[in-house]
């Protein structure tokens, strides 16, 4: 029987375990994938802890949004993929009934997409969560265009890397931030126009300096917390701060003074604003697919772990030392 990652209680990474389960039978509209690799996301850590804001796990629960592998079986009415197709998954389903962590994954048909032959399975796990997240905020909603300044905080993450590449592709000017100088060279190598090391430099002052005092038109921020006030100080008139995470657990106050004086928009955003709307979702898939084909988008893998060390992979993500996507591979090959 294939090994599938589950947790029988919420908690720290130690609750993750490998369970031998019968191979799933696909229901109508479902796809079973023999997994070569799966990627990690912050949402899965919150889900494992019981803190995911979208829904709670039903224990024991499977887990996972992103995987790459080969289609092993399809359910009734599945028409877009066939057994033997090489695919990766789009995070557009509910974890628990569906999952990607394990030697086999079960996902709905709409969550399956092809990926270019030039990418390895590990790289293919780093496509859809990062690039679709960025697409929904910066391309679909903000419509970032040539000359726009975009501040990308926590820029060494897989989503940060995708944001740098996507903004660069439309001619925007990327201002990437990181706490420590040890990640500066990595971020520059991803194509960031400017890198701000917040442990050594004042965030708002540097953004204003880079933008000649005007401020950045957009901020793309997974950190939240008190830093939002500094970002608001450095936003352009009628600029927008997209907050798509809460890495800083401290409260995030609305900076009323800048909100009034600048017409600031402080917007909470999640990938569900893409996947809950079929037309936007389809456009996003097409946009990312075209960017991959052109070579504008290149997923970056931080490191890989064997399946037996999935808990260690979660601990590595919680250390905040990664640069790119953390990936678990199901076999040495």
Average pLDDT per block of 10 residues along the chain, 333 residues long: 97 98 96 98 94 92 98 96 96 96 98 94 96 98 98 95 98 96 95 96 97 98 95 97 92 92 95 94 96 96 97 95 93 59
Predicted local confidence at residue 287, as pLDDT = 97
3-class DSSP assignment, residue 86: strand
Query: What CA–CA distances, in Å, run from 54 to 47, 93, 270?
Result: 9, 11, 10
For the entire predicted model, the pTM comes to 0.93
For residues 78 and 108, what is the distance between their CA atoms, to the nearest angstrom? 9
For residues 303 and 326, what is the distance between their CA atoms, to the nearest angstrom? 5
Token pair of 160, please?
């940060």
Predicted local confidence at residue 247, as pLDDT = 85
For residues 215 and 206, what is the distance between their CA atoms, to the nearest angstrom? 10
Residues 6 or more apart whose Cβ sits within 8 Å of residue 4: 18, 19, 20, 21, 62, 99, 101, 102, 103, 104
Predicted local confidence at residue 333, as pLDDT = 46
Backbone angles phi, psi at 29, to 5 degrees: 80, 5
Q: How far is CA 42 from the centre of its chain?
A: 8
Fold of 3-127+300-329: Quinone Oxidoreductase; Chain A, domain 1 (3.90.180)
Predicted local confidence at residue 258, as pLDDT = 92
Range 129-273 has CATH code 3.40.50.720: yes
Predicted local confidence at residue 121, as pLDDT = 96
CB atoms within 10 A of CB 168: 18
Eight-state DSSP code of residue 102: B
Sign of torsion over alpha carbons 183, 213, 146, 132 = positive
Domain ranges of the chain: 3-127+300-329, 129-273
């Amino acid at each position: 029987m294939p090994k599938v990652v589950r947790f029988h209680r919420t908690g720290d990474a130690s609750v993750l375990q490998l369970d031998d389960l019968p191979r799933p039978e696909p229901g109508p509209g479902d796809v079973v994938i023999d997994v070569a690799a799966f990627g990690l996301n912050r949402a899965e850590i919150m889900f494992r802890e019981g803190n995911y804001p979208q829904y709670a796990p039903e224990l024991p629960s499977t887990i996972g949004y992103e995987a790459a592998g080969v289609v092993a079986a399809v359910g009734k009415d599945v028409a877009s993929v066939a057994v033997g197709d090489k695919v990766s998954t789009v995070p557009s389903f509910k974890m628990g009934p569906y999952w990607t962590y394990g030697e086999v994954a079960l996902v709905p048909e709409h969550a399956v997409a092809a990926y270019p032959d030039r990418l390895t399975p590990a790289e293919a796990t780093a496509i859809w969560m990062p690039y679709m997240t960025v697409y929904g905020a910066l391309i679909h909603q903000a419509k970032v265009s040539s000359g726009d300044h975009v501040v990308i905080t926590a820029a060494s993450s897989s989503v940060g890397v995708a944001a740098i590449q996507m903004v660069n592709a439309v001619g925007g000017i990327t201002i990437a931030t990181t706490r420590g100088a040890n990640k500066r060279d990595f971020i520059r190598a991803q194509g960031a126009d400017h890198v701000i090391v917040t442990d050594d430099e004042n965030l708002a002052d540097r953004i204003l300096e880079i933008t000649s005092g005007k401020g950045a038109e957009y901020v793309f921020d997974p950190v939240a917390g008190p830093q939002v006030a500094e970002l608001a100080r450095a936003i352009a008139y009628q600029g927008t701060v997209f907050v798509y995470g809460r890495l800083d657990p401290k409260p995030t106050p609305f900076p009323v003074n800048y909100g009034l004086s600048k017409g600031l928009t402080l917007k909470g955003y999640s990938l569900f604003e893409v996947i809950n709307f079929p037309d936007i979702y389809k456009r996003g898939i097409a946009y990312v697919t075209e960017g991959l084909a052109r070579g504008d988008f290149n997923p970056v893998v931080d490191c890989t772990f064997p399946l037996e060390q999935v808990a260690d992979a979660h601990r590595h993500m919680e250390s905040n030392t990664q640069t790119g996507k953390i990936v678990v591979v199901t076999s040495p090959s």
